[in-house]
Amino acid sequence: MPPTDALPRLLGRPGDRAEVMEELRRLLPRLEGLPREARTLPFALPPLDARLPQGGLAFGVLHEVAPATEPEMPAAFGFVAAILGRMPPGMLLIVLTPKCTRWGRPHGHGLNRLGLNPARVILVEAADEQQALWAMEEALRSAAPVAVAGVLGTKLDLKTSQRLNLAAGNSGLPCVLLRPAGPAESSAATTRWCVGAAPAARDRFGLVGGWRWRVRLERCRNGRVGEWLMEFDHAAHRFSLAAALADPALSRGASPQPSLARSG
Amino acid sequence: MPRIVSVWLPRWPILRFLAAQVRNPPSREAVDPERPFVLAVTASGGPRIAALNAAAEADGLFAGDLVADARAKAGMLQVRDVAPAADAAALRRLALWATRYTPAVALWEEDNGADGFFLDVTGAAHLFGGEQRLLADLAHRLGGFGLPAHLAAADTPGTAWALARYGEASSSPSPLAGEGRGGGSSDCGTGVPDLPTPTPDPSPQGGGEKNYLPSGREADALAALPIEALRLAPETSTTLRRLGFKRVGALLDKPRAPFAARFATELLRRLDQALGRTSEPLAYVVSPPVYHSLRYLLEPIAAQEAIVAVATRLMKDLVHALVRDGVGARALRLSLYRVDGEVQAIEIGFAMPTRDASHVARLIDLKLERIAGTAEAGMAEAEAFDAGFGFEALGLAVTVAERMDDRQAELAPAHDSGNAERYAALVDTLRQRLGPRSVKRLAPVASHVPERAEAASLAAAATPVWPAPDETRPRPLLLLPHAEPADVMAPVPDGPPCRFQWRGALYDVACAQGPERIAAEWWRHDTPEPTRDYYVVEDKAGHRFWLYREGLYERETASPRWFVHGLFA
């Protein structure tokens, strides 16, 4: 039965308000053409996954990531790499543009330490933004990798983002786009993340225990926005939420497993 | 026995010079081809004649004369410098054009005169209706370019060369005088491959002399020729003439030992090569492919779609042979034969052996698009590719073939095998459009120096194996292409930094972890490189950097310099 028929019937029925909401939540993604049983990549963080419509990063759609400010590009790239490292087994494609290499090129040993096996990664160096977008679309259409990521040097217009979203939808692959810092423009991306740097977690000896990022979910279709201080455990490929502590010295001596806290 | 066609182009430097002159009119006075004209080369005793036209020859000049003497003999002699490099390049282009007959074409080396080429037409002549027809067609087309050529076909390169050079038709002292082509005196023909103006419909008579020698008659054919026909060094032939040997026939039935003692190996080697007793390897202008398919078109084509369509058909022709031998193509070369004799080549590589015609078509399409794109951008590569008046023939050659196992077409296909194919196809596509070096994988290298610790390998290479990360050695996520100098304030010269300036911004260090000392690889450099002390530095806002201090304080340097080498997530 087409969902459009179901809606009026459902709304006209006097009943439990929560039930109607639940039904609407179920129907809305179908209205927007998203596959009903879409695969997702959960963060395994209940407070975060609860805000995402399908309980995780949806496959087959475009996700946009931006650094909070220009110098926080490495943090945003780290967030993207951590997400890619959690993808199911298979090849990962990362498209780079000359502008984004201002902050350096991905270092294999660094990716390895972040839990992303460099042997899975194919790096594509495009000569300009146009070619990078073409390469991303081509990779999505071929469905050869399990995920496609792009690091762009310029902002994305609505039409291009729609193209990428459509290509991702047709192949069922997730597409993560890292764009430069700046005010967000309208785009077809399902989620938009803003990643900022945060002081790292330190163990009792003052050594770096895990990378931390200030992650803000700025926009989420059919979900809710939020802001968290996330920590990534590269050995276990696991995200965790860290208590927001301004002074890293205070976190010294804290338990190795940071307590779950929710903010935003 | 192989069959070799030899093509001699008399007066090649003169013809090439005049053709180049038509294309690029010189700033100073142009050479008049009707009047005596020589090309000079600097030699002992002053400039000497390297090549001369018919008018100069009629005035009694010979190659090798001093130019000063020649000026005295012939009034108003026109002299220009010979350009061997340009001659060789033009001859190479002509040889590439000749690959339309057979992929195995070899230029004449310097000791053969460097003014002609060999075609190995073994197994190719029947495509043109036999050797006689092939020779006629070749002569006809060369005549169309304004090149009066002397052709000969024989079993060995040596005999073919001798017949082309000293065969009956060309034994007259003035070869051009005997030419039967229309407008024979204008040896500055307008269609030499240097020229943009093609002559698609030359006179049916064509230029050139043809010598056709059936198999096994080398000795008979050579007997009547002068001993120079054996490609001997000038001193050797002079000595032989002094000894009374004027014709090759006089040498044929003589005992070998005295000649071996007198002339070392040269004479007997050349004789054996001409008679087919020893093989003579030819250096081909392009390596002959394993599989080759060629199509002549009735009308020249220039449109991209047409080229792709013909290439697809050529690939389909090749598929049968590839399937029969159980191989797939790893590299292809598409040769486009332009109407005016230029040959354009497009090389295509594959990540995995393939026989898929549609995949090949797509890659060729992308490559042509890329070339067109660079043409719009006005880049140098575009000049190399120009459809001109269109292409009259297309050839597709498999230059690298690799074993390709047949797979059963499964009803429920295994997931990974299809994926490997898709992956290879994607890599091919990206490389065609973005350039061969654009798609990479990272492979570890056993080195402690960070910038040397990984290498970008081509995506087609085997999957690299990465070791488990070493927890005690932090490595940045992003490594700068070159370490960038930073102004660092450190409380003690060999301590961690407390504040630094990089790219115009000031960072207050909240926490520094280190040092990790990495010594230079002394076996790599003659002068020792300074040791580096790496610190993981975090500023108050949470930006993480990888800084290093170059040089050990007071041991290697008095004022260590600091660099930012990478950025952590």
Task: Tell how far CA B274 is from the center of its chain.
Answer: 29
Residues of A in contact with B453 (CB under 8 A): 108-109
Q: Rounded to whole angstroms, how far apart are CA atoms B411 and B413?
A: 6
Read off the DSSP letter of residue B508: E
What's the pLDDT at B187?
Answer: 37
What's the pLDDT at B487?
Answer: 92
> What chain A residue is nearest to B423 in terms of C-alpha separation?
A144
> Interface pTM (ipTM) of the complex?
0.81
pLDDT band at B204 (very low <50, low <70, confident <90, very high): very low
Q: Which two tokens stand for residue B243?
A: 């000894």
Residue B311 has pLDDT above 80, yes or no: yes
Report whether B245 contacts B226 (CB < 8 A): no
φ and ψ at A137, to 5 degrees? -65, -40
Tell me the nearest-neighbour CA distance from B414 into chain A, angstroms: 14
Q: Which two tokens stand for residue A195?
A: 């990643």
The candidate with the shortest Cα–Cα distance to B512, out of B552, B481, B543, B484, is: B543
Mean pLDDT in each 10-residue stretch from start to end of chain A (264 residues)?
Answer: 52 70 74 64 87 86 92 92 90 90 89 89 90 92 91 88 90 91 86 91 78 90 87 80 53 42 40
Q: How many CB atoms lie within 10 A of CB B290?
A: 16
Q: How many CB atoms lie within 10 A of CB B490?
A: 19
Burial class of B514 by CB neighbour count within 10 A (0 to 12, 13 to 18, 19+):
middle
Q: Please state whether the peptide bond connecting residue A248 to the residue before it is cis, i.e. omega within 30 degrees of 0.
A: no
Q: Rounded to whole angstroms, how far apart are CA atoms A139 and A263?
A: 37
Q: Which residues pair with B529 in a beta bridge?
A: none
Tell me the nearest-neighbour CA distance from B496 into chain A, angstroms: 14
Report whether B299 contacts B309 (CB < 8 A): no
What's the pLDDT at B564?
Answer: 94
Residues of A in contact with B566 (CB under 8 A): 104, 107, 110
Residue B179 has pLDDT above 60, yes or no: no
Q: Is A114 close to B474, i.e. CB distance below 8 A? A: no
Q: Report which listed range, B99-113, B308-322, B412-426, is most confident.
A: B308-322
> A248 at the B interface (CB within 8 A)?
yes
Taking CA atoms, A23 is separated from A8, A30, B267, in Å, by: 12, 11, 99
What is the tens place of the pLDDT at every residue in B228-240? 888 888 888 888 8
Residues of A in contact with B451 (CB under 8 A): none
> What chain A residue is nearest to B468 in terms of C-alpha separation?
A112
What is the tens place of the pLDDT at every residue in B346-397? 888 888 888 888 889 988 888 888 877 776 665 544 445 677 788 989 999 9
What's the number of CA atoms in the CB half-sphere (13 Å) around residue A208? 34
Taking CA atoms, B431 is separated from A148, B128, B180, B200, B398, in Å, by: 17, 38, 52, 37, 19
Residues of B in contact with A68 (CB under 8 A): none
What's the pLDDT at A32?
Answer: 63
Residue B181 has pLDDT above 70, yes or no: no
The candidate with the shortest Cα–Cα distance to B8, out of B112, B156, B122, B146, is: B112
Tell me the nearest-neighbour CA distance from A27 into chain B, angstroms: 32
Q: Report which listed range, B435-449, B457-471, B477-491, B548-562, is most confident.
A: B477-491
What's the pLDDT at B53?
Answer: 87
Q: Is B513 close to A114, i.e. CB distance below 8 A? A: no
Residues of A in contact with B439 (CB under 8 A): 122-125
Residues of A in contact with B466 (CB under 8 A): 108, 112, 117-119
> What chain A residue is nearest to B438 in terms of C-alpha separation?
A125
Q: Is A71 close to B419, i.e. CB distance below 8 A? A: no
In the sheet that holds B391-403, the strands lie side by side as: B291-301, B391-403, B327-338, B343-354
Residue B456 has pLDDT above 90, yes or no: no
Q: Which residues pair with B439 in a beta bridge?
A: A124
Of residues B426, B477, B505, nearest to A110 (C-beta) = B477
Residues of B in contact with A122 (CB under 8 A): 427, 439-441, 459
Q: Which two tokens stand for residue B31?
A: 């050479």
> What chain A residue is nearest to B483 in terms of C-alpha separation?
A104
Q: Is B542 close to A212, i.e. CB distance below 8 A? A: yes
Of residues A119, A135, A234, nearest to B434 (C-beta) = A135
Of residues A82, A107, A134, nearest to B476 (C-beta) = A107
Mean of the pLDDT values across residues B502-522?
90
Of residues A107, A127, A214, nearest to B566 (C-beta) = A107
What is the tens place of the pLDDT at every residue in B249-298? 888 888 888 888 888 788 888 888 888 888 888 888 887 777 888 888 88
Q: Is B478 close to A121, i.e. CB distance below 8 A? A: no
The candidate with the shortest Cα–Cα distance to B422, out of A140, A149, A124, A96, is: A140
Residue B100 has pLDDT above 80, yes or no: yes
What's the pLDDT at A7?
Answer: 54
Residue B6 has pLDDT above 50, yes or no: yes
Residues of B in contact with A236 (CB under 8 A): none
> What chain B residue is nearest to A247 in terms of C-alpha separation?
B540
Q: Is A74 close to B568, i.e. CB distance below 8 A? A: yes
Dihedral of alpha carbons B344, B350, B356, B359, sign = negative
- Show which of residues 126-185 on chain A sit within 8 Å of chain B, judged by CB atoms: 126-127, 131, 134-135, 138-139, 142-145
Residue B202 has pLDDT above 60, yes or no: no
> A69 at the B interface (CB within 8 A)?
no
Q: Rounded to whole angstroms, how far apart are CA atoms A136 and A153?
A: 14
Q: Rounded to whole angstroms, how far apart are CA atoms B518 and B535?
A: 11
Residues of B in contact with A103 (CB under 8 A): 478, 480, 567
Q: How many CB atoms lie within 10 A of CB B391?
A: 22
Q: Is A119 close to B456, i.e. CB distance below 8 A? A: no
What is the tens place of the pLDDT at every residue in B398-436? 988 888 776 655 554 445 556 777 888 888 888 888 888
Report whether B218 contacts B154 (CB < 8 A): yes
pLDDT band at B344 (very low <50, low <70, confident <90, very high): confident
> What chain A residue is nearest to B448 in terms of C-alpha separation?
A109
Q: Rounded to whole angstroms, how far apart are CA atoms A78 and B412?
A: 39
Tell me the nearest-neighbour CA distance from B478 into chain A, angstroms: 5
pLDDT band at B303 (very low <50, low <70, confident <90, very high): confident
Residue B472 has pLDDT above 90, yes or no: no
Of residues B430, B456, B567, nearest to A135 (C-beta) = B430
Tell me the nearest-neighbour CA distance from A235 into chain B, angstroms: 9
Tell me the nearest-neighbour CA distance from A177 into chain B, angstroms: 17
Q: Rounded to whole angstroms, how far apart are CA atoms B61 and B53?
A: 10
Residue B209 has pLDDT above 70, yes or no: no
Dihedral of alpha carbons B447, B451, B455, B459, sign = positive
Tell me the nearest-neighbour CA distance from A36 into chain B, angstroms: 23
The larger pLDDT score, comparing residue A260 to residue B46, is at B46
Q: Is B542 close to A199, i.e. CB distance below 8 A? A: yes
> What chain B residue is nearest to A231 in terms of C-alpha separation?
B569
Q: Which residues contact A236 (CB under 8 A, 6 or more apart)?
A: none
What's the pLDDT at A33?
Answer: 58
Q: Rounded to whole angstroms, how far apart are CA atoms B213 and B560?
A: 80
> A244 at the B interface (CB within 8 A)?
no
Report whether B564 contacts B546 (CB < 8 A): yes
- Show which of residues 27-66 on chain A sit within 8 Å of chain B, judged by CB atoms: none
Of residues A110, A135, A144, nearest to B478 (C-beta) = A110
Residues in chain A: 264
Q: Is B444 close to A108, i.e. CB distance below 8 A? A: yes
pTM for the structure as a whole = 0.66
> What chain A residue is nearest to B470 in terms of C-alpha separation?
A113
Q: Rounded to whole angstroms, how far apart are CA atoms B149 and B135?
A: 11
